[in-house]
Amino acid sequence: MGQHDRYGKELLLKINNSSQNKEYCQFDYGDYGVACIDGVIIDKVAIEIESRVNKQIRGSLMDLICHPYTQKLLILMSVNSVSNNAVKQAEYILEKFLNDTKNFKVVKLVGNGDHKKEHEDKNIILDALKYLNN
């Protein structure tokens, strides 16, 4: 696990009702294998954390969309080429597949594994979860 992935998952651990347990994060792709997302808010929100390039972000979106929880949160970190365009692209894809903007949120953290901004980033995640709970 890289430092950026570790940083994102450490942030999730500080949020109430969050879990990275496979019982909640892992799901089947039918008879063709399983996938595991980065975390969940138990029984409510599926969460993916991504810090790589746009093409890899789009791959993570597929797992997020296919996870059985109705609400989705994509957390992006500015590391490689994660830009505002990546945020807009992810929002476009989620809206296309989920058809309800109240069931998903895409956020970009200000920190990453190299430059931690835990307080600010935790607040960004909490604000996204509040949005999903309304």
Quick: pLDDT tens for 120-133. 999 999 999 999 98
> Comparing 115 with 131, which gets the higher pLDDT?
131
Specify the higher pLDDT residue, 61 or 5. 61
Q: Looking at residue 82, what is its pLDDT?
A: 60
How do beta strands 18-19 and 39-41 pair? antiparallel
pTM: 0.92
The DSSP 8-state label assigned to residue 80 in this structure reads S
**Which CATH code for domain 3-133?**
3.40.1350
Count the neighbouring beta carbons within 10 Å of the beta carbon of residue 96: 9
What confidence tens digit (pLDDT) does each residue in 51-109 have? 877 788 889 999 999 999 999 999 998 776 566 788 999 999 999 999 888 999 999 99
Radius of gyration of the chain (CA): 14
Q: Are 132 and 46 in contact (CB under 8 A)?
A: no
Range name among 4-13, 38-47, 50-59 with the lowest pLDDT average: 50-59
Pair type for strands 71-77 and 45-50: parallel
pLDDT: which is higher, 68 or 2? 68
Q: Provide the token pair at 57.
A: 């972000």
- The string of pLDDT tens digits covering residues 10-26 is 999 888 888 999 999 99
pLDDT value for 3: 82
| Mean pLDDT computed over 108-121 | 90
Here the tokens at position 1 are 């696990």
- How many H helices and E strands in the chain? 5, 7
Distances (CA, A) of 9 to 14, 21, 22, 46, 60: 9, 12, 14, 13, 15
Identify the pLDDT of residue 80: 62
At 85 the pLDDT is: 82
25 contacts 40 by C-beta, under 8 angstroms? yes
